[in-house]
Structures are given as structure tokens and as C-alpha cells.
Structure 1
Amino acid sequence: MKSDIQEKAECTSLNKLNMQLLPRIWRHWVNPRQRVSKYFPALALQQLTEQITLSEQRHTGQLRFVIESSLDTANLCHHTTARQRAQYWFGNLGIWDTAEKSGILVYVLFADRAVEIIADRGINTCVSMVHWQQICNRITQAFQHHRYMDGLTAGLDELTELLVQYFPRTHAGTNELADEVILR
């Protein structure tokens, strides 16, 4: 049986947790896909998709971009992080299953203003976590100035240079993954 002190401590902890969760829930509710699509118009996403296609002609890496406007309430209540969602998409899109293990996901959770990069084993052995984080930080800085597409394009350029350095295209290859940017 719990003492009164233990129950009060648990209740206080739960209230504190709920108070921290409410602002996050609000941010996600006010950032539906329709609103976020203003910052990522269809034409701009198509241009980014074309840039990904051009990038992949220079190396054997596979790039995917996912922009998720917000999370549903269940994910919020389970305290799902942007990193966890990025890992979900990495697996769901099969980025882990490329021939040279050189797949990279750039994931944006817009409501949290979070950017994550998940890289497969092959490229991860060549590039440090610090370098991935620096690229994420530069994208995030562009977002802070409302330069969303500029941030993603600059991130793509940096990733392209890394992939050209470590996985240069030396032969005609196949495009293993779709290049289309996902906005949901």
C-alpha cells in the first residue's frame, strides 16, 4: 500500500508531466498539414524532389525527405520524440535496405521545429554523429528565419557532398528508393 507522501509525489509528478505536455499538444493541434503546406508548397517540394534525383546521379546513396506537420494525440501522449518518428519512417520506407547501406533520411517534425537525420550503417561508419547534428542545426537555423525550403536545400547540398566523397558513383546504378518528398 502506498503512503500519502508517495501518492502526493506521484500526483505532483503526473501534474507536472501533464503541464509540460499541454503546450506540445497545442503546437501539434495548431499545425495541421493544410497550414504547414503553405511553408512547403507543392512546386517547391517538386523542385526539391528533382534536386534529390540530380543528387543521386552523383553518388550511390539513397536520400529520402519526410516532413511531418504534427503528431496525432496518441503519439503525443506516449511522448514520441522526433527521433523516434524518424526511426519509424526510416524503417517504414525501407531506407535501411539499400545495397550499399548508404540510405539517409532527413526528417522534419514541423510542430516541434525538430530536424533529425537517420543514416544507414554504411554511411554512418564514415560520418560522425556530430557532423549529422551540425547539418540538422543548420537546417533548423534556416527554419528559425522562416527559410524552410532554403534550409532543406542547403541540407541536401551538404548530404550530397558527403555521399559523393564516400559513395561516389562509379557505375550506372539503379534508384532503389523513391525520391519524392513526403509531406504529411
Structure 2
Amino acid sequence: MVRQDKFNDMVTTVDQDLHTQPSLKRWFKHFFFLPATSRYFNQQDQHAIAQAVTEAEHGHVGEIQVIIEGNMPLKEAYYFDSRQRAQQLFAQYRVWDTELNSGVLIYLNLCEHAVEIVCDRGICRATTQEQWHSICKIMIEQLKQQQYRQAVLIGVQQVGKLLNDFYDNQITDLHNELSNRPILL
């Protein structure tokens, strides 16, 4: 499942079969965007996000990975939109490779002003588009107000609640399979 929301104009794309055409405009946008993830998310913010992930993963086997990217590498920016980039990172960081297929990626692209949520196939079948859309919408509201840390914290908490509802609490989480620290690219 992939959710894409732009926090400038609230456009939502649900169709996973759309193929993005190479875009010189997107490439220039990323070329001129100054890498700024550390300006938006300092060490305290990163620690708070890691704590929120730890709390959101408590009590179930779901795994949450947060990736925040200022701008895409230029090769990817020409060929991929933020949805495709999130799918690429989902595979690259092996979010799909958890023991119980319980991974969820929250991806924030600062240059594109986009939020993506990609979840593993088991979770995808048991949840609805509306549930993921509501999480993205909450995050977008905070991002529009330039509350970047709060947006990610709320998104992580909401995904944690959804995973808690999805997974049987009788299953014991033996170990943490994905890092709780956000990945800043």
C-alpha cells in the first residue's frame, strides 16, 4: 500500500499502477533544493522520533521505519516521483524483510512536500486506504504549519495505533528488527 499526499496542495494518489514519466522539471527542482534535513530535524528531534517509534512498536510485532529525505539523488529525481522513491527505499532498507512481514515505512520528502506510507503485504491486506489517508492527512496539517517534528511524531503514533489494532497482542515481540532512529538522507 502506498499513500502519497502533497502538503502544499493536498493531492492524493492511490493508483499504484501509474508510471511516472521522466521529468526534467522534477530533476531541476531537486537540483536546486538545498539538502536541509538537519535544519528541519536536529539531534533532539531525531531522538524524539526514535522514542516515539519505540513506544509505537510496544505491544505488537509491527516495525516502523522513518526515512526523511531533503532531496532525491539526481538520477532518481529524473526517473522517480516520491511514491516510487518510497517504494525503492522500502526495498533498499529491507523494511519488507521482517520476520512476520510487519514493516511500515513513513517517508517524508521535503523537496517534493510529500508524505508516503508504504506497508508490507500482510498489513496492506488487513487495512483500508482510508486509514492510511487519515494518518497522512494529520501529518500534512502539521507540515503545513511547519511543525515538522510534531508531524512525524503524530504519524508514528497513529501508525503504532493502527498496528496495535491489527496485530494480536498475544504475539510476543522478541526483538527489534528495524532501527528506531529515523534515517535522514
2:102 pairs with 1:102: yes
Aligned to 2:70: 69
Amino acid aligned to 1:32: L
Amino acid aligned to 1:84: Q
How many positions carry a matched residue from both structures? 164
TM-score (norm 2): 0.80
2:90 pairs with 1:115: no
Structure (1 or 2) with the larger CA radius of gyration: 1
| C-alpha RMSD of the superposition | 2.0
Question: 1:36 and 1:99, CA in 2 relative to 1: closer, same or farther beyond 3 A?
Answer: closer
Aligned to 2:46: 45
Tell me, yes or no, if the aligned pair for 2:49 and 2:182 is still in contact at 8 Å: yes
How high is the sequence identity, in percent, across the aligned residues? 27
Aligned to 2:129: 129
Amino acid aligned to 1:102: S
Tell me, yes or no, if the aligned pair for 2:103 and 2:120 is still in contact at 8 Å: yes
Aligned to 1:84: 84
Tell me, yes or no, if the aligned pair for 2:53 and 2:64 is still in contact at 8 Å: yes
How far apart, in 1, do the equivalents of 2:159 and 2:132 lie?
Answer: 9
Q: Deviations over 1:26-77 (max 9, x none)?
A: 44234333x3311111111111112211221221100000001101222222
Amino acid aligned to 2:82: A
Question: 1:155 and 1:169, CA in 2 relative to 1: closer, same or farther beyond 3 A?
Answer: same
How far apart, in 2, do the equivalents of 1:31 and 1:45 lie?
Answer: 22
How far apart, in 2, do the equivalents of 1:169 and 1:30 lie?
Answer: 47
**What's the secondary structure of 1:38's corresponding residue?**
helix
Aligned to 1:58: 59
Higher relative contact order at CA 8 Å, sep ≥6: structure 1 or structure 2?
2
How far apart, in 1, do the equivalents of 2:99 and 2:142 lie?
Answer: 33
1:130, CA displacement in angstroms?
Answer: 2.6
Question: 1:51 and 1:137, CA in 2 relative to 1: closer, same or farther beyond 3 A?
Answer: same
Aligned to 2:13: none
2:148 pairs with 1:148: yes
Runs of 4+ with >6 A deviation: none
How far apart, in 2, do the equivalents of 1:54 and 1:132 lie?
Answer: 19
Question: 1:172 and 1:103, CA in 2 relative to 1: closer, same or farther beyond 3 A?
Answer: closer
**What's the secondary structure of 2:123's corresponding residue?**
helix
How far apart, in 1, do the equivalents of 2:128 and 2:103 lie?
Answer: 15
Q: Deviations over 1:155-181 (max 9, x none)?
A: 111111111111144324211111110
How far apart, in 1, do the equivalents of 2:119 and 2:174 lie?
Answer: 20
Aligned to 1:28: 30
Structure 2 unaligned spans of 5+: 1-20
Amino acid aligned to 1:49: A
Aligned to 1:176: 177
TM-score (norm 1): 0.81
